[in-house]
Amino acid sequence: MKNTNLEKLNSAQAQTKRFGITMISPTVLVLLVMTAYPLIFTVYYSFTNYNLLKVLKNPAKFIGLKNYIDLLSNTYFRQAILNTVKFTILAVIFEMLIGFLMALLVNSLKRGQKVMRTLLLLPYLLPTVTVALSWRMMLSPNYGIVNQVLEALNLPVYNWFSDIKTAFGMLLLIDIWQSAPFVFLLLYAALQSVPQSQYEAARIDGAGALQTLFYVTIPNIKNSLALCALMRTIDSFRLFDKVNLLTGGGPANSTATITQYIYNFGIKALDFGFGSAGALVMTLLVLFLSSFYIKRAMG
Amino acid sequence: MKKLFALILTLAMAMSLVACGGSKTNEPASSGSTTPAATTEPAKTDTPAAPTKMTLILRAGTYADVIKECLPAFEAEHNVTCEVQELSESDLYSGIALDAINAQGTYDLCMVDGSWMAEFTENGVLANLSELGYTLDDDIIPATTAICYVDGDVYLAPYYGNVTVLLYNKANVEAAGFTGDSIANLDDILTICKKAQADGKKGFIFRGDSQNNLVVDFLPILLSFGGWVIDENNQPTVNSDAFKKAMNFYLDLISTGDAEVKDDLIASVDTGAGTMGVGWPGWYTPTADTTADYTAITGVASAGDQAYNANVYGIWTIGVPANSQNKELGVELLSYLMDKDVQKSTVPSGGVPCRYSSLQDADVLATYPQYEVVCKALEGGMYRPVIAEWTQFYTILGTEMDNIVNGVKTVDQGLADAQSQLESLMAG
């Protein structure tokens, strides 16, 4: 009798397990087709001299680590890595800081929260191409409003995207302008979930604004902060469209990012083998940076 | 219930897999009307045959606009509908290349930059037009057909006569005591630009936004100094004395102005904020009333120096992809677009045919006198190097030139670095 019950239980468990596997199998299948398959091919191509047009006449050849050696010994690739890391660090810091301040400000408003929320979100809702072209018009050395205002104030004007001193800063500014609202949105949602009782308790205990911020608000939203930082790190690291539209990586490679390098020296010339090696190096770097957040902050 | 749900899910997955992996052999059946047989043999039924769909991949801008305005007549005559994709230069290149690897191509007519010719023909991207019965006629300016042949067979037809010209602001040039016609050499250009700079305006404007633009804007200057980027054996010659002289002169010239994107360059010269820059006829249509005009670059560095051929072609050619599903129709469309009268009809819309019958026509010249300059430039132009590695070549050279222009490297250092990288590129 006891054995029969055990068998029944095992059978029910196996059935549940099978059902679970069936349920996740569509997702696994999509992941295999959309992620694993391209990844395997990217790894494979990175060891070949695959060129999209040349393979029409001659098949790609296995060239071992040549693509990786060429890549890592290339001065411009190393410069692109440095630019990307610098951009990512600065962008994430400023976006987190500004987004957090915006969230605190809107959350503290007694009236007009909805209006402010909508207005502050607008830059994030715009397509990147629109953002890039709008800024290009505003910063145009000919008819741009920014230079006209500066001239009217007798201040020096710049050729913002062609000057080695200003191009990187401008890209950073545009990215912060567009992406800080994303941080604001996530942190604002997180702030709404902080229990009011904790604020009341802090107030009764005589905590000041800064103490409340550091001992109540931040500990309550630290997971959201980590998630935001993780998402912005990954996104900033993949920066391409703004660079490609506004500077093309110039002047003098001062704004060249890893993706822009891969595009210029791999994809544009249809050298997908070389491009695949670059993409894998970038993936490893993103994984390295992301693992820091995932391990330390998200447990 | 769970079993039933699991069964439905499995069935759905199986169906999705079958749908995603649909055999290509089914495609011709579903698009049967686009096969060559179907297009050349009209359906023998009482009801009119459904129009054949043709797809054109073109360079956006005036280049595509003038073709689009000619299409309705061809569509009506041949019972076809034409879908036109208008793309930027880099997207056009990758669009044609990405489609070339398919057995059955999407495009029936493509616009090709002269500098892609070697790579495309070497890898069998383009159809042999001679085999399809097309020949280039004598009315086409001979120099423009230089890259259209491979082993005596035609692969491309020169459609839009883009050639580098010197775009200038009339008032700024006159302020320096010159006119467009009296700019005899590069020293005159530098004098005009320095005068403009002294007057608080920008002198020479160049495009510094991509490696390709940096190189292309510089090539007429390099040619005027008797230099070139490769020798007769396709070996790089960017570390030569002529290249260094040209680069040093270019640095002087661009120090009078600014790096700007194309639209800013045109606006700058048009408003007079900038004085001149290297441009293309397709960018600007000068008339008697416009503030800007263009003139051919003479190819002379200083007074008394040898005159070199310094006009660089940016001709947009048209061809038929080798994997087109409607090759015969594609060639018919190409022949129609290359027709003398059809080409002449595009002139009022900004078309620049590579034909004497258009560019030397008295009526055309009466309205558009600048076509005389264009004709001369086209008669003695140079194509960019016809090498399969041109994309990588200009990327490397442009990157080093960008470093020089921005003071990150000296001329000697930058050109030596470019030379060594280009040598290893060309060595394979």
Give the tens place of pLDDT for each residue, A57-104: 888 999 999 999 999 999 999 999 999 999 999 999 999 999 999 999
Cβ pair A159:B259 closer than 8 A: yes
| Chain B residue whose CA is closest to A139 | B264
B124 neighbourhood in chain A, CB within 8 Å: 56-57
Better pLDDT: A240 or B30:
A240
Please, which residues have CB within 8 angstroms of residue B256's CB and are 6 or more apart in sequence? B190, B193, B194, B196, B197, B202, B203, B204, B275
Contact B55, B26 (CB under 8 A): no
Question: Distance between CA atoms of B235 and B420, rounded to whole angstroms?
Answer: 11
Residue whose structure tokens are 């132009």: B381
Backbone angles phi, psi at B169, to 5 degrees: -90, 125
**How confident is the model at residue B282, as a pLDDT?**
79
In total, the C-beta contacts within 8 angstroms joining chain A to chain B are: 107
Q: Which of B217, B406, B417, B420 to mutate to test the interface with A (most CBs of A within 10 A)?
A: B406
- Report the first-to-last Cα separation within chain B, whole angstroms: 64
**How confident is the model at residue B4, as a pLDDT?**
63
What confidence category does residue A296 fall into, taking pLDDT thresholds of 50, 70 and 90? Answer: low
Q: Which two tokens stand for residue B184?
A: 């005899």
Q: Which CATH number fits domain A74-298: 3.10.580.10, 2.40.128.630, 1.10.3720.10, 3.60.21.10?
A: 1.10.3720.10
Question: Distance between CA atoms of B177 and B193, rounded to whole angstroms?
Answer: 12
ipTM strictly over 0.90?
no
Question: Distance between CA atoms of B364 and B368, rounded to whole angstroms?
Answer: 6
CA proximity to A139, closest of B209, B269, B260 = B260
For B57, which DSSP code?
Answer: E
**How confident is the model at residue B10, as a pLDDT?**
63
What confidence category does residue A2 fall into, taking pLDDT thresholds of 50, 70 and 90? Answer: low
CA distances from B402 to B215, B251, B399 (A): 9, 11, 5
Cβ pair B125:A53 closer than 8 A: yes
Domain boundaries along the sequence of chain A: 74-298
Cβ pair A25:B13 closer than 8 A: yes
Q: Which of B210, B269, B387, B404 to mutate to test the interface with A (most CBs of A within 10 A)?
A: B210
Please, which residues have CB within 8 angstroms of residue B89's CB and are 6 or more apart in sequence? B59, B113, B212
**How confident is the model at residue B42, as a pLDDT?**
44
B391 min Cα distance to partner chain A (Å): 6
Q: What are the per-10-residue average pLDDT scores of chain B (428 residues)?
A: 61 55 39 37 57 94 93 94 94 93 94 90 93 95 92 95 92 94 95 96 92 93 95 93 96 94 92 93 83 91 92 93 95 96 93 94 89 87 88 93 95 96 90
Contact A23, B9 (CB under 8 A): yes
**How confident is the model at residue B111, as a pLDDT?**
96
Backbone angles phi, psi at B332, to 5 degrees: -65, -40
- Cα torsion angle, A186, A192, A197, A202, sign: positive
* Percent composition of chain B: helix, strand, coil (DSSP 3-state, to 5): 50, 15, 35
Q: Per-residue DSSP letters for B256-316?
A: TSEE--HHHHHHHHHHTSEEEEEE-GGG----TT-SEEEE-----SSTTSPPP--EEB--E
What is the Cα B2 distance to its own chain's centre?
62
Question: Distance between CA atoms of A57 and A30, rounded to whole angstroms?
Answer: 33
Please, which residues have CB within 8 angstroms of residue B391's CB and are 6 or more apart in sequence? A268, A269, A270, B93, B119
Backbone angles phi, psi at B76, to 5 degrees: -70, -40
Please, which residues have CB within 8 angstroms of residue B171's CB and are 6 or more apart in sequence? B272, B291
B209 neighbourhood in chain A, CB within 8 Å: 161-162, 247-248, 250
Give the tens place of pLDDT for each residue, A269-292: 899 999 999 999 999 998 888 887
Full-model pTM: 0.82
DSSP H or E segment with residue B204: strand B202-206
B123 neighbourhood in chain A, CB within 8 Å: 53-54, 56-57
B93 neighbourhood in chain A, CB within 8 Å: 268
Cβ pair B208:A26 closer than 8 A: no
B210 min Cα distance to partner chain A (Å): 6
pLDDT at residue A165 is higher than 80: yes
**How confident is the model at residue B2, as a pLDDT?**
59
**How confident is the model at residue B296, as a pLDDT?**
87
**How confident is the model at residue B402, as a pLDDT?**
95
Backbone angles phi, psi at B57, to 5 degrees: -115, 115
**How confident is the model at residue B24, as a pLDDT?**
41
Backbone angles phi, psi at B85, to 5 degrees: -105, 125
Give the tens place of pLDDT for each residue, B218-241: 999 999 999 999 999 999 999 999
A270 neighbourhood in chain B, CB within 8 Å: 94, 97, 391
| Chain A residue whose CA is closest to B403 | A252
Residue of B391, B399, B408 lying closest to A268 (CB–CB): B391
Cβ pair A56:B100 closer than 8 A: yes
